[in-house]
Structure 1
Amino acid sequence: MYRVRLWSVRHARRLRSLYELFSRLAPLMRPVARVLGVDRTAAVLRPLERHAKGFLFDCRMCGQCVLSATGMACPMNCAKEMRNGPCGGVRPDGHCEVRPEMRCAWVEATAGTKRIAPDHKAHPTPLLPAVDQRRRGQSTWIQVIHGHKEPAFQPPVAHDSTREAEESALEAACRSGRFVVTVEIAPPDSADPSVLLARAERFRGLVDAMNVTDGAGGNCHMSSVAASAILAHAGFNPVYQVACRDRNRIAIQGDILGAAALGVKNILCLTGDDVSQGDHPQAKPVFDLDAVSLLHVARGMVDRGEFASGRKLESAPRLFIGATCNPFVPPFVDRIANLEKKVVAGACFIQTQFCFDLPLLEAFMDGVRARGLHRRAHILVGVGTLSSAKALRWMGAHVPGVHVPEAVLQRIGSATDQKAEAARVCLETIEAIRGIEGVAGIHLMGHRNEEALADIIRRAGLPARTGGGAAGGGFPGLPGPRG
């Protein structure tokens, strides 16, 4: 079955031509369908469709077939069921983060789409809506017979700049044109907020915002929305990371509203790592949305003031919305198009995965500038450090999407003081990034390595700022922090 699926991608252009012929001829069956009735016609077509498409494409019968738009590669074969991929965890050989024996379904989709339209210079695959769970198992052939087109992504929500909204400190920093600095903080394994606040305090006056991870790596911690609210109450400027792995669209929208009500002004939309990577591999992943469809939902809440269902909000949240990208894993060239999908869907700022490979970043930014994406979203490049070459090698092998060149590992590993050498590599990377046109700033990461990261910010000569810990803050309608 898997070999036939790969064959279908290799012959995507011919199969697309056959589909177009079928879509032209299928409406001729409409009189027969009227006589039999929709339900009876569908009952006849469903098993035929399941077997034919199952054999050729390993079809999962989602009821919203998009094969002709995804290079004859069924996106439901993605382990995360992403409708807009690939994710940032593709392995160096192009295989799936979750199922290493299988080639990434979205690497296949991109390759097939290029075979269908070799000169296509925009998105290798179009923006697609999240799966409508009500239609699973239904026939799409009956839809073609009745002249219905394949599902298409709704037009992106236009950003309404006329609406009055208070800028977050991160948005103000991005719009100012100066070099932006953000940092990532892991929520604690504790119900005591003092641990979180102690980590954040190290960065007061050093950063424009602090990302709060949402079950990073599939590991359980204090919820990102609660930790973000705690930081906002303490006068910090949190970025609430929202991962699609653990909640459906109902829960996610409720959390976004709750975060905004508690003073959080920035969110970062993520698909999320698979649960198999974390400390609860027995858990059931959700992946009701992916990062692109989540961006679209969040923009609808902010700009149109409505839920994904179309129901109006009494009061729309005011949020600065971001997403991620990973220039350092396959498919390298098509990562730019994947970034463009996120910008079109509504991302205003972008944070990348760890950068240890400057040539890859420079090549990526060449493509970004060629498409003018740096003028449509603020790009913050991920940097960071760990204490040894062994720790970096482990991260490169076990953390999805992290790429550490062997030359970097050897340099740090041969140093007498590996921790100091790793910090020097990070400082040199920051200095080089500051010279790349189109980069708006940096995003520092390093699991529970706050002291080293704060020291790097100081040593990098980056000016003081207030967004990471301005005085005041607090939940709306509640007293501000003491002391």
Structure 2
Amino acid sequence: MTPARWHQALSLLRPLVSLIGRRRLEQPLAWAERALKRRLFGCRMCGQCALDATGMGCPMRCPKGLRNGPCGGVRSNGTCELDASMACAWKDIWSRLDGELPPRQPLLDHRRAGRSAWLAEILDPKPAAPDLPPDRAFAKGRLQARLEAGDFVVTAEIGPGTAADGSALLAQAGKLGPWVDAINVTDGSAAHCALSSMAAAALLRRAGHDAVMQMTCRDRNRIALQNDLLGAAALGIENVVCLTGDGVLNGDHPEAKPVFDLDAVALVATAKTLRDGGRFLSGRALTVPPGYFIGAVDNPFAPPEPARVQRLAAKVAAGAQFVQTQYVFDIPAFTLYMERLRAAGLHRRCHVIAGVGMVASARTARWLTAKVPGVRIPDGVVRRLEQAADPVAEGAALAVELIGALRRIDGVAGVHLMFHHHLEMIEGVITAAGLAGPRQRRRVA
């Protein structure tokens, strides 16, 4: 039976169900639904069934509970980063829908958990993702202004560190100095504890840097996320990047309870709702709305690769204005990704900042390929590092070459440097790449 016929059949039952009463039917229907749907679809009884939109593949089988997937944590063999024995639930959904992702799904109402979705569908209107407000004019920060002016931007990523006085953070930022346009601070990267991304971004702003605050869905529910979005704006943080986040099993507190109340698409839409709609998700109005530049991330090489542009399109439709990608080492594959992105017109709606990494040894390259989903390092690069007399210098030379190649790809608006333990190399790499002065920071036509 098609979803349309199924909905039609359920609607015919409304008079009978209303006569019998919801209270009498809830328990037996929930029991029957749990027994049948769990066996057929792996149902988790969220009470807000999306099977009709997802090709009868339950998205709640995803360990992160993503309603809008897939995340960037799909291994090269198509399995989940948190469970190597489990195929990615969203890769399965994408296959069921003949290579398409469904429309943006509404947020879960957790009050419905364990209750009958059939009964809700008969008696209640089916929830839909709310319409997003139109863009609102607000003062632009430096990063947004440079991107919109056509500059080829350089951003860099640092970890906030574990110093309660922020000394580790400021020491890292000091190595970047005038060489980058903005500095990203991670939010519990790899699910490890660190100084909060909001505090770190605020410290960077105080020190005169343009900060990009990363925000993950892993640790906070929709209330806390909205609180932090509002708080970030109050602290003068002009750029936020929305991520789903790594699973807690990867981190230093694997026993912790993951939240994942929202996914990255929903978090982007939430940030836009606060900024352009001037209201919380509940509909309550803000006294003064925030004015941040909304970013997202993308992993071009995580399977299924054709779905990556579709998910980025969902983030852009939700409000993402710029995107920073995972490491790019495979230029031909990234060129294909950008062709798909341009075909969808996304390069005109979103500034694409390509990730560039500093790989200082063949051993590190192999580890990244084996352990980090979506990182693809060609064998030739590994051999080049292995045969180099000075692998660190060779890694820097490779980064310079990658920046040059990325700059020549139509639609690439900048590079995002992830050098981590080699921040001292950034000055030399930027200089060698010809990006050391503002006059050189123009995109190649």
Normalising by structure 1, we get a TM-score of 0.88
Specify the code of the residue in structure 2 equivalent to 1:52: L
Residues 217, 399 of structure 1: 8 Å contact kept: no
What is the CA distance between 1:406 and its match in structure 2?
2.2
Specify the code of the residue in structure 2 equivalent to 1:134: R
Rounded to whole Å, the distance in 1 between the matches of 2:85 and 2:426 is 36
Unaligned runs of 5+ in 1: 1-16, 467-483
Partner of 2:74: 90
Partner of 1:13: none
Q: Secondary structure at the match of 1:202?
A: helix
Q: Secondary structure at the match of 2:297?
A: strand
What is the CA distance between 1:402 and its match in structure 2?
2.2
* Aligned equivalent of 2:425, options 448, 452, 455: 452
Bigger drift between 252-261 and 222-231 goes to: 252-261
Cα deviation 1:344-386 (Å, max 9, x = unaligned): 0000000000001111111110011101100000000000112
Alignment of 1:328-477 (within 5 A): 328-465=301-438
Rounded to whole Å, the distance in 1 between the matches of 2:408 and 2:124 is 53
Rounded to whole Å, the distance in 2 between the matches of 1:36 and 1:269 is 46
What is the CA distance between 1:437 and its match in structure 2?
0.4
Residues 303, 374 of structure 2: 8 Å contact kept: no
Partner of 1:131: 108
Rounded to whole Å, the distance in 1 between the matches of 2:4 and 2:24 is 25
Partner of 1:36: 20
Bigger drift between 38-47 and 69-78 goes to: 38-47
Q: Secondary structure at the match of 2:176?
A: coil
Q: Does 1:323 align with 2:296?
A: yes
Specify the code of the residue in structure 2 equivalent to 1:252: L
Residues 186, 448 of structure 1: 8 Å contact kept: no
Partner of 2:443: none
% identical aligned pairs:
48
What is the CA distance between 1:175 and its match in structure 2?
0.4
Q: Does 1:235 align with 2:208?
A: yes
* Aligned equivalent of 1:196, options 161, 169, 177: 169
Q: Secondary structure at the match of 1:382?
A: strand
Q: Secondary structure at the match of 2:160?
A: coil
Cα deviation 1:49-104 (Å, max 9, x = unaligned): 11111111010011110111112111101111111111111000111010110100
Q: Secondary structure at the match of 1:110?
A: helix
Rounded to whole Å, the distance in 2 between the matches of 1:22 and 1:356 is 47
Residues 205, 464 of structure 1: 8 Å contact kept: no
* Aligned equivalent of 2:123, options 128, 146, 150: 146
Cα deviation 1:179-212 (Å, max 9, x = unaligned): 1110001111111223211211222221111000
Q: Is the alpha carbon distance of 1:256 and 1:431 closer, same or farther for their aligned partners in structure 2, counting shifts above 3 Å?
A: same
Q: Secondary structure at the match of 1:24?
A: helix
RMSD, aligned CA: 1.5
* Aligned equivalent of 2:133, options 152, 157, 168: 157
What is the CA distance between 1:464 and its match in structure 2?
2.8
Residues 161, 169 of structure 2: 8 Å contact kept: yes
* Aligned equivalent of 2:84, options 92, 95, 100: 100
Cα deviation 1:375-410 (Å, max 9, x = unaligned): 000000000112211122222222333222222112
What is the CA distance between 1:44 and its match in structure 2?
2.7
- Give the number of equivalent residue pairs: 439
Specify the code of the residue in structure 2 equivalent to 1:103: A
What is the CA distance between 1:145 and its match in structure 2?
2.4
Cα deviation 1:93-147 (Å, max 9, x = unaligned): 1110101101000001111111xxx7xxxx5221112211111112111133237
Q: Does 1:69 align with 2:41?
A: no
Bigger drift between 193-202 and 306-315 goes to: 193-202
Partner of 2:159: 186
What is the CA distance between 1:31 and its match in structure 2?
2.3
Rounded to whole Å, the distance in 2 between the matches of 1:260 and 1:284 is 28
Bigger drift between 402-411 and 337-346 goes to: 402-411
Normalising by structure 2, we get a TM-score of 0.96
Specify the code of the residue in structure 1 equivalent to 2:145: A
Partner of 2:282: 309
Residues 188, 196 of structure 1: 8 Å contact kept: yes
Q: Secondary structure at the match of 1:109?
A: helix
Specify the code of the residue in structure 1 equivalent to 2:277: R
Q: Is the alpha carbon distance of 1:279 and 1:454 closer, same or farther for their aligned partners in structure 2, counting shifts above 3 Å?
A: farther
Q: Does 1:269 align with 2:242?
A: yes
What is the CA distance between 1:18 and its match in structure 2?
4.1
Q: Does 1:295 align with 2:268?
A: yes
Q: Secondary structure at the match of 2:147?
A: helix
Partner of 1:3: none
Rounded to whole Å, the distance in 2 between the matches of 1:356 and 1:157 is 38
Partner of 2:65: 81
Cα deviation 1:240-265 (Å, max 9, x = unaligned): 00011111111111111111111110
Specify the code of the residue in structure 2 equivalent to 1:229: A
* Aligned equivalent of 1:221, options 194, 215, 238: 194
Kindly report structure 1 stretches of 4+ aligned residues shifted beyond 6 Å. Answer: none
Q: Is the alpha carbon distance of 1:464 and 1:443 closer, same or farther for their aligned partners in structure 2, counting shifts above 3 Å?
A: same
